[in-house]
Amino acid sequence: MPRNPHEKFGLTALLKPGGLLSPGALPPAHQTRRRDTMLTIGACLLAALGLWLLEGHASGYVVHLTCVGAIFATLAVSYNLINGVTGQFSLEPNAFVACGAYVTALLTLSPAEKEASFILEPLIWPLSAFSIPLLPALVIAGLLTALMAFLMGFPVFRVRGDYLAIVTLGFGEVIRVVANNAQSVTNGPLGLKGIPHITNLWWSWGLLAVCLFFIVRLVHSSYGRALMAIREDETAAEAMGINAFWHKMLAFTLSAFFEGVAGGLLAHLITTISPSLFTFFLTFNLLIIIVVGGLGSTTGAVLGAFLFTYGGEWLRVVEEPMQLMGLDIPGIPGMRMVIFSLILVGVMIFLRRGILGRHDFSWRWLLASLGLGRGSKA
């Protein structure tokens, strides 16, 4: 019987052995690797076709939401690597996203646009004298963010648990304060405006695909199993010969790289950034996404990101005047967040481990659930 009586209604219970969605024994991975690769390639081609149709026929509003969803999915997957897979309660994503956004914007803005934006104090040289295309700017932003994470990791991973959360939260606030006061680099509270609108469906979804490729392969490698061992019991993992510090540094640095690149794409989607955009509220939103999707589940992080992005917009209808059974109901500002909070409370009660728990999508599971390619139950 589950520890939480409400868990019997969750998807995690249905996916357990004996559950309605449990396919039973799965065939060994090495026997289906070629088939799974072909299915993945086919799914990617279908996704590309869907994006092409969406770009040509959907409204700008839907396209923008889909880009935002992909960027937040990238952030959630990379954040889940350190918080869910490795089990380190870190609260710094807003710092890494800010670093990536500012670096990318400063590298891609033209000298004339920089001169127009920096009114109170001129931008330092040589940033004021050149600009580069988006792709190399994103790579540089990701590498600089990863370097910052690597340097942060030495003091950060000297502590564990709640102390780790406090230290990383402090680092996040330090970066925000620096962005607010480094007038000659970030333009202070005024932020950066006139950033070229380059991010589209192909940039945002391309980054999500690359992020998923690297992180899924890492999670299913020997390094990934070591990270999960650290999550379950760090002391026992070290006793078995796993270097917990360097494995945590690997997860932290890789997570920061993708968060920095996603921050750069976000800046070129909304075209205006300022320190107020990168507060703890951004980290809190990402934490909600990975917890609702299932802490430790890469598939759950992607699912949670799109539910969060689209759900938040769909709930705007409750703030508009409407007629219900002949009654005129005035729009109530803020009602969207009230309903959203009630939904989160319901998820935490009835889906205690999130929508997917620690389960991840696989072609073996899908085909076995459909009665195809089921393994032996011996």
| pLDDT tens by residue, 310-323 | 888 888 877 777 77
Q: What is the pLDDT of residues 342-373, one digit of tens each?
A: 888 888 888 888 888 888 887 777 777 776 66
Per-residue pLDDT band for 2 (boundaries 50, 70, 90) equals: very low
> ∠ CA 221-227-228 to the nearest 5 degrees?
95
- Residue 105, CA atoms < 13 Å, CB-side half-sphere: 30
Distance CA 71, CA 279 (A): 17
At residue 324, the 3 state secondary structure works out as: strand
Q: How many CB atoms lie within 10 A of CB 329?
A: 12
Topology annotation, domain 44-300: ABC transporter involved in vitamin B12 uptake, BtuC (1.10.3470)
Supply 200's token pair: 């589209």
**Contact by Cβ (8 Å): 82, 217:** no
Which amino acid does the sequence have at 90? S
Per-domain residue ranges of the chain: 44-300
Q: How many CB atoms lie within 10 A of CB 17?
A: 8
At residue 40, the 3 state secondary structure works out as: helix
> ∠ CA 251-79-268 to the nearest 5 degrees?
115
Per-residue pLDDT band for 52 (boundaries 50, 70, 90) equals: very high
Q: What is the pLDDT of residues 233-265, one digit of tens each?
A: 888 999 999 999 999 999 999 999 999 999 999
**Contact by Cβ (8 Å): 269, 68:** yes
- Please give the pLDDT value at position 148: 94
- DSSP 8-class letter at 21: T
- Please give the pLDDT value at position 162: 84
**Contact by Cβ (8 Å): 248, 230:** yes
Supply 341's token pair: 């909070």
- Please give the pLDDT value at position 6: 47
Mean pLDDT, the chain, rounded, equals 85
**Contact by Cβ (8 Å): 283, 54:** no
Q: What is the pLDDT of residues 145-189, one digit of tens each?
A: 999 999 999 989 988 888 888 999 998 889 989 999 888 888 888
Mean per-residue pLDDT, 317-336: 74
Q: What ranges in the chain are assigned the alpha helix state H? A: 11-15, 29-57, 60-80, 93-108, 111-117, 134-156, 161-181, 183-186, 201-219, 222-232, 234-239, 244-270, 280-293, 298-314, 335-350, 363-369
Question: Among residues 328, 302, 332, which one has the least CA distance to residue 318?
Answer: 332
- Please give the pLDDT value at position 105: 92
- Please give the pLDDT value at position 11: 55
The model's pTM is 0.88
Residue 329: its H or E element: strand 327-329
